[in-house]
Structure 1
Amino acid sequence: MNKSTEVTCPVCGRSFSPDVIQQHADRCLFLTSSASPPSNSIAKKIKLDHRPAKSLDFDNHDKPPPAKKPKTENVPLAEQMRPKSLEEYIGQCHVIGDNTLLRQLILKREIPSMIFWGPPGCGKTSLANVISNICKEESNLRFVKLSATMSGVNDVKEVVKVAKNEAKFDRKTILFMDEVHRFNKLQQDTFLPHIESGVIVMIGATTENPSFSLNSALLSRCRVIVLEKLNSDNVMNILLRAVTEKYSADIVDCADEVSSRPSIDRKTLQWLADICDGDARIALNSLQISFQMKQPRTGSSKSVHISLEDIQEGIKRSHLLYDRKGEEHYNIISTMHKSIRASDDNAALYWLTRMLTGGEDPLYIARRLVRLAGEDIGLADPRALQIAVSCMQACQLIGMPECDVVLAECVVYMARAPKSTEVYVALQRCKKNISEHKGALPSVPLPLRNAPTKLMTELGYGRGYNTAHKNKSGLQYMPDGMESVVFF
């Protein structure tokens, strides 16, 4: 090309053909955005990441860097296996199954503001990932993912700012906020006006009960979608898909069927599906650890085979769903109490064991048993209260795990004991009478008053008092005007 037709870059002073000068100038401006004003010698002065200018090659910058293949070996298998479409999504048929309202809305690209509520590993983020891929297929939908564990109100404001500009071009912004319960209720107010005006469609995900963790104003603007624990069949299907797609492994019924390809026992997958307590993330990541552990050295011809013993060696069932500060904490202790009240010793022992296995404080359980002895057993078996107090003292003295059998004995005794709520009901009636009394509460009758001084004696305090039975003493022990009130 003739030199006269070339164009000089105003930033670095070099000459380029007209068809590439714009691209080159854009790159030069990007590189010098934080440097000194442009000059003919600027190419010698520019620094990038505090490296000397000689490390820069403007000609190389005009060529796109070679594409790098993403490394997946360090990415958790649960993240790699996220479904990309509704057809790949497994489980939650009551929410996303055929002919459900949410499925129809997603297929029509009419996605509402909603909150996904469910236990860990049940598919909340995976369902959001499906929606994200649907948005990529549509030019008028934009999906933004944030996590309340790493983002703040300013990040939300920035998303809203961009969403307002996108709305001018008829593009709808869907904001997915993972772990939304991490925002306090004041921070949650940030979403309200923008959901109300339609600037954003918000999808939140939480493991906490929205009734407690989210404010009522946000709940009124979002539909709560309840996701349940995955059953063993769901988790098994997810594991089968991972084994075949990710590891190209054979599923065998016995070790004799092992071939040159990677393989895994079917009973191993079933055990893993049963033991993960409905958490697909735990199952997938445990499977990944097992394959990594058995991966042969480079150059080795030995085939990979995963047996039940291989997975059991490094995996323990320490993930039972039991949040000592969340809803499950109150659900299980309440269920144990109700099982004892119904004299179901078998169920009461089960729920006690669930709490102890999940790491509950034994003293908390013991205190509840003391209360239960007075409330539900009462005078039908006064010894129950003594046993409950002794159980609490034993828990204080020896702690876990030695006190587990003491708690079990106390729970079974109370479940089998006769029940009487007579005292409890009478107490509630008495409280109600006092709280609903109009005017000043009645005074203590004069014969029943203490008379430690001469003045009190002269005023009639204690006059006529005797220790005889109420039917013989001639005294009235209830306040004046309440002689006929009976709480039992």
Structure 2
Amino acid sequence: FNKLQQDTFLPHVENGTIILIGATTENPSFSLNNALLSRCRVVVMEKLSADDVLKILKHALMKTGKAVIGNAKQDLGKTSSDLPQCIVEEASLKWLAEMCDGDARVALGALELALAARAPETAQSKPAILRLEDIIDGIKRSHMVYDRKGEEHYNTVSAIHKSIRASDDNAALYWTTRAMHGGEDPLYIARRLVRAACEDIGLADQSAIVEAVACLQGCQQLGMPECDVLLAQCAVRLARAPKSTEVYRAMKRCRKSLMEAKGPLPPVPLHLRNAPTKLMKQLGYAKGYNMLHKDKSGLNYMPEGMEGRDFFQDSDSSNE
């Protein structure tokens, strides 16, 4: 349901006609409107531990009877009537439990694919041995441990930006590599790096934005996996650069003044207007304009009533 349709539920949820129960792997605040969400009790389910996932995997193998956990050399020495269809090495299950990022569905899906790929052709065949490389292949085909569309997508890219802002080159490299490893769109990462270069480095190192844009263009030309080093290098370079938010803060001050302005916005001064026609010149457009520096031109470049406003002096320079 879209947010407009959700509004129709609101009175019925309030009076108890509808009891709304839902489960999602995403952050519900992305999908539910605030009014409906405020009337629901949100229970956050944390990720499973590796031990919990391992128990689930062992239980699944026991219930299905498709495989047993054991030592390949010992189990292959049994009589043919006692042999299982597949023998899973416990070390492989432990690796899977640790690599599924607390998501039992990912672990079960990878295990199922690996078992299907290694299943013996006939009942009389020797049992297949499910080793670590088979599990790795299964998890590649079942699910990448990265959420490219949900909350984790935004969390990871936010971590890249904040690490750059804090000048932590090690963390910036980690989060950038983690996003790439999970299959994130390299252009999305590159665009965020361009934003970081403008917002957090700014005039302190004006070559940073040039290199960030070059990184974006390089990613467009190369694509993955060739552009991986390009992204990593740019993230580290931005993290190590000197920081200045002077322009960013001044822009926010300027935007705030526009939002808080009462009545119509002040007009552009006549001497700053373009005068491409005779009528405009007769109306005084561009009259008195000169190309001198503001300190020598004798002109004012701010709107009437804002002559003394300086957005840069208003900016808080404590984080520069």
The TM-score with structure 1 as length reference comes to 0.55
User: Counterpart in 1 of 2:55?
Assistant: 237
User: Counterpart in 1 of 2:74?
Assistant: 257
Measured after TM superposition, the shift of residue 420 of structure 1 is 0.7
Match of 2:211 among 387, 393, 398: 387
In structure 2, distance between residues paired with 1:453 and 1:249: 86
Measured after TM superposition, the shift of residue 198 of structure 1 is 5.5
User: Counterpart in 1 of 2:30?
Assistant: 212
CA shift in 2, pair 1:246/1:418, >3 Å: same
Match of 1:470 among 278, 291, 294: 294
User: Counterpart in 1 of 2:21?
Assistant: 203
Deviates more, 1:447-456 or 1:388-397: 447-456
Match of 1:402 among 216, 226, 229: 226
1:356 partnered with 2:174: no
List per-residue Cα deviations over 1:268-318 (Å, max 9, x = no partner). Answer: 111121222222123234334444534473345x45543334434544276
**Structure 1 gap ranges (5+):** 1-182
Percent of counterpart pairs with the same letter? 63
User: Counterpart in 2 of 1:298?
Assistant: 123
Q: What is the letter of the counterpart of residue 386 of structure 1?
A: V
User: Counterpart in 2 of 1:341?
Assistant: 165
In structure 1, distance between residues paired with 2:154 and 2:134: 37
CA shift in 2, pair 1:451/1:243, >3 Å: closer
Q: Secondary structure at the match of 1:205?
A: coil
List per-residue Cα deviations over 1:229-265 (Å, max 9, x = no partner). Answer: 212111112223334454396644x544335354432
User: Counterpart in 2 of 1:226?
Assistant: 44
CA shift in 2, pair 1:373/1:245, >3 Å: same
Measured after TM superposition, the shift of residue 418 of structure 1 is 0.8
1:247 partnered with 2:65: yes
8 Å contact from structure 1 (residues 448, 461) kept in 2: yes
User: Counterpart in 1 of 2:106?
Assistant: 282
Pick 1 or 2: higher relative contact order, CA cutoff 8 A, min separation 6.
Answer: 2
Measured after TM superposition, the shift of residue 339 of structure 1 is 1.2
CA shift in 2, pair 1:272/1:464, >3 Å: closer
In structure 1, distance between residues paired with 2:267 and 2:260: 16
Q: What is the letter of the counterpart of residue 37 of structure 2?
A: L
User: Counterpart in 2 of 1:319?
Assistant: 143
8 Å contact from structure 1 (residues 231, 278) kept in 2: yes
Measured after TM superposition, the shift of residue 475 of structure 1 is 2.6
In structure 2, distance between residues paired with 1:448 and 1:197: 61
Q: What is the letter of the counterpart of residue 324 of structure 1?
A: R
Q: What is the letter of the counterpart of residue 336 of structure 1?
A: I
CA shift in 2, pair 1:356/1:305, >3 Å: closer
Structure number with the higher helix fraction is: 2
8 Å contact from structure 1 (residues 296, 304) kept in 2: no
In structure 2, distance between residues paired with 1:350 and 1:250: 37
Q: Secondary structure at the match of 2:262?
A: coil
In structure 1, distance between residues paired with 2:36 and 2:275: 62
Measured after TM superposition, the shift of residue 227 of structure 1 is 0.9
In structure 1, distance between residues paired with 2:250 and 2:129: 68
RMSD, aligned α-carbons? 3.2
8 Å contact from structure 2 (residues 197, 209) kept in 1: yes
Structure number with the higher strand fraction is: 1
Measured after TM superposition, the shift of residue 486 of structure 1 is 0.6
8 Å contact from structure 2 (residues 88, 130) kept in 1: yes
User: Counterpart in 2 of 1:104?
Assistant: none
Q: Secondary structure at the match of 1:224?
A: coil
Count of residue pairs brought into register by the alignment = 304
Match of 2:250 among 422, 426, 431: 426
In structure 1, distance between residues paired with 2:297 and 2:235: 44
Q: What is the letter of the counterpart of residue 397 of structure 1?
A: Q
**Structure 2 gap ranges (5+):** 313-320
The TM-score with structure 2 as length reference comes to 0.80
User: Counterpart in 2 of 1:118?
Assistant: none
Q: What is the letter of the counterpart of residue 298 of structure 1?
A: A
Deviates more, 1:312-321 or 1:219-228: 312-321
